[in-house]
Structure 1
Amino acid sequence: MCTLIDESESGTDLLERARAGDQQAFTALVEQHRDRLWAICLRITGNQHDAEDALQDALVAAWRAIGGFRGDAQVSTWLYRIGSNAALARIRKRSDADDIDDHDPMSSVDVAQQVVVSDRIQEALAQVPDAYRATFVLRVYGELSYSEIAEAQGIGLQTVRSRISRARSILAELLADLR
Structure 2
Amino acid sequence: MGPVTPLSLAEASDSELLARHVAGDDHAFGELFRRHKDRMWAVALRTCRDPELAADAVQDGFISAFRRAGSFRGDAAVTTWLHRIIVNACLDRLRRVRPTSPLPEYDLADHRDHHSSTEVRLDVEEALARLPDGQRAALVLVDMHAVPVAEAAQILGVAEGTIKSRCARGRAALAEHLGLLAGEPETGPRTS
With the length of structure 1 as denominator, give the TM-score of the two structures.
Answer: 0.86
2:47 counterpart residue number? 44
Counterpart for residue 94 of structure 1: 97
**Stretches (4+) displaced over 6 A:** none
Q: Give the match for residue 11 of structure 1.
A: 14
**What amino acid is aligned across from residue 68 of structure 2 in structure 1?**
A
Check if 1:78 corresponds to 2:86.
Answer: no
2:34 pairs with 1:31: yes
**TM-superposed deviation, 1:158:** 0.7
Aligned length: 169
- Structure 2: gaps spanning 5 or more residues: 105-113, 185-192
Q: Once superposed, what is the RMSD of the aligned Cα atoms?
A: 1.9
Q: How does 1:22-171 map to 2 (within 5 A)?
A: 22-97=25-100, 99-101=102-104, 113-171=116-174
Q: Deviations over 1:73-111 (max 9, x none)?
A: 10000000111111111111112316544xxxxxxxxx9
Q: Kindly tell me: are residues 132 and 24 of structure 1, through their superposed partners in 2, closer, same or farther at Cα, counting changes over 3 Å? A: same
- 1:175 maps to a residue whose letter is L
Distance 1:36 1:165 in 2: 24
Between 72-81 and 11-20, the greater mean CA deviation after superposition: 11-20
Instruction: Report percent identity of matched pairs.
Output: 38
- Whether contact under 8 Å (1:100, 1:126) holds in the other structure is no
Asked if structure 2 preserves the Cα contact closer than 8 Å seen for 1:41 and 1:83, the reply is yes
CA contact (8 A) 1:42 1:48 kept: yes
Looking at structure 1, the residues matched to 100 and 26 of structure 2 have their Cα atoms a distance apart, in angstroms, of: 37
* Cα deviation, residue 132, structure 1: 0.8
**Per-residue deviation, 1:40:** 0.4
The aligned counterpart of 1:108 is none
Counterpart residue identity of residue 69, structure 1: F
The one-character-per-residue Cα deviations of 1:127-165 (angstroms, maximum 9, x if unpaired) are 000011111111122221000011111111111100000
Contact 2:15 2:78 (C-alpha < 8 Å) held by counterparts: no
- 8 Å CA contact retained: 1:20, 1:67: no
Higher RCO, 1 vs 2 (CA within 8 Å, ≥6 residues apart): 1
Q: What do residues 49-84 of structure 1 show as CA deviations (whole Å, max 9, x unaligned)?
A: 111111111111111111111111100000001111
Q: CA deviation at 1:37?
A: 0.6
- Paired residue for 1:174, among 163, 174, 177? 177
Aligned partners of 1:159 and 1:61: how far apart in 2? 26
Deviation at 1:33, TM superposition (A): 1.5
Residue matched to 1:21: 24
Contact 2:43–2:87 under 8 Å retained in 1:
yes
- More displaced stretch, 49-58 vs 17-26: 17-26
